[in-house]
Amino acid sequence: MKLCIVTHKVKRGDGQGRVNYEVAKEAIHRGHHLTLLASEVAPELENHSQVNWVEIPVNGYPTELIRNFIFAKKSASLLKKSRSNIDLVKVNGAISMATADVNAVHFVHSSWLRSPVHISRNRRDLYGLYQWLFTALNARWEKQAFQTAKVVVAVSEKVAQELVNIGVPRSRIRVIVNGVDLQEFAPGIASRQKLGLPENVTLALFAGDIRTPRKNLDTVLHALVKVPDLHLVVVGNTEGSPFPQLAASLGLTERVHFVGYRRDIAEIMRAVDLFVFPSRYEACTLVLLEALASGLPVITATATGGAELVTPECGVVLSDSDDADALAAALLSLVSERILMQQMGQAARSVAEQHSWTTMAQTYVDLFEELSNAEHRSHPDLSPSSRSLPLPFGATGAN
């Protein structure tokens, strides 16, 4: 099969980029040939004999909106020239103006635009206006892209419902949850002292962007006031964040530990006792799966994509992200029962083990092969030899 993936990045260390990286590796493993229309590609893929990377450079443009538009236009132009020699095209959202067979949806901008915590509702300035325009245009372009795709992949049940809400037939939606690195994120013992964390206390973890109210650290802090035996470590860039000041005003300075942006999040997860993340809006967050893989009980909310993975055996899912009393009650129920937390942690790991990157990638490539085989059956004149002609992309970009 000749597969083309259109995406900005195909590399580890980037959420959407990691998904496409793992899918690309699985496709190569099965002997398929791959064309990557992308701005960045991992070196091991760039130099692989089964991979043809066509670079679409966009870094020189001033805003993400312009970069995305240029990328979408250039990728569509490249695909138009050689679409007849490709068996299947996979894209993400409105990343290309070209028609795709599979559109994998990590974020539905129509739903985000309606969210009460959308940036434009909290920033009444030029930046807020830009964010509104960025989201509104993406919402419009996405709807057009979803209408033409044969299959739309949702990364969570929440995203699947959001797609239905904007008119995508449920029969064309598949749910494929993102994966997690089960080796990097695993239960274990880590030195709190080396990590700069308090010892001999029960410690919860919150991780995410804390410069806006979207991730909902404010409700976590208000709930923490009612759970006196619990400390909280907060991973996230504090520059421009209102939450250190809020923690101080609530008398939580001694129990809330802001550690800034960290790359050793896997080690931190091995050093804490539970994970709390009742986000007000999330399509599907990798950090939730990483916490489950690390063997942590999880407290989250229905507004968080991926919350459907959190069973009563491994955590608590709140119906209202802003209910500080319910969050405090959930925290108290765990803090007071250390054996229960340990049991939940074991159950959390079992859940995560069903969602490795390998499992996710295999599910995607199974889908590609299913669609390609169906297309071949409907066009029997396309012989295997005619379907493996070399692609004429090489002369237009990097290889």
Query: In the chain, where does the domain assigned CATH 3.40.50.2000 lie?
Result: 2-179+356-396, 192-352
Write down the number of H helices and E strands in the chain: 15, 15
What confidence tens digit (pLDDT) does each residue in 83-97 have? 889 999 999 999 999
Q: What is the DSSP letter of 184?
A: T
**385 pLDDT more than 80:** no
Q: What fold characterizes domain 192-352?
A: Rossmann fold (3.40.50)
Q: How many residues does the chain have?
A: 399
Phi, psi of 11 (to 5 degrees): -165, 160
Query: Angle at which helices 64-82 and 126-148 pack, to 10 degrees?
Result: 20
Pick from 115, 113, 93: nearest CA to 102:
93
d(Cα 101, Cα 99) in Å, to the nearest integer? Answer: 7
Strands, sheet with 173-175, edge to edge from the N-terminal-most edge strand: 51-55, 33-38, 2-6, 88-91, 102-105, 151-154, 173-175
Pick from 221, 242, 243: nearest CA to 232:
221
286 sits in which H/E element: helix 286-293
Strands, sheet with 315-318, edge to edge from the N-terminal-most edge strand: 256-260, 230-235, 202-207, 274-277, 298-301, 315-318
The half-sphere exposure of 368 on its side-chain side, counting CA atoms within 13 A, is 29
Of the chain, the percentage scoring pLDDT greater than 70 comes to 94
Provide the pLDDT for residue 327: 98
Query: Is 3.40.50.720 the CATH number for 2-179+356-396?
Result: no
Provide the pLDDT for residue 277: 97
What confidence tens digit (pLDDT) does each residue in 179-216 have? 999 999 999 999 999 999 999 999 999 999 999 999 99
Bridge-partner residues for 5, per DSSP?
A: 36, 90
Provide the pLDDT for residue 122: 87
Phi, psi of 233 (to 5 degrees): -100, 130
pLDDT confidence bin for 374, thresholds 50/70/90: confident
d(Cα 292, Cα 331) in Å, to the nearest integer? Answer: 17
Q: What's the first-to-final CA gap in the chain, in angstroms?
A: 19
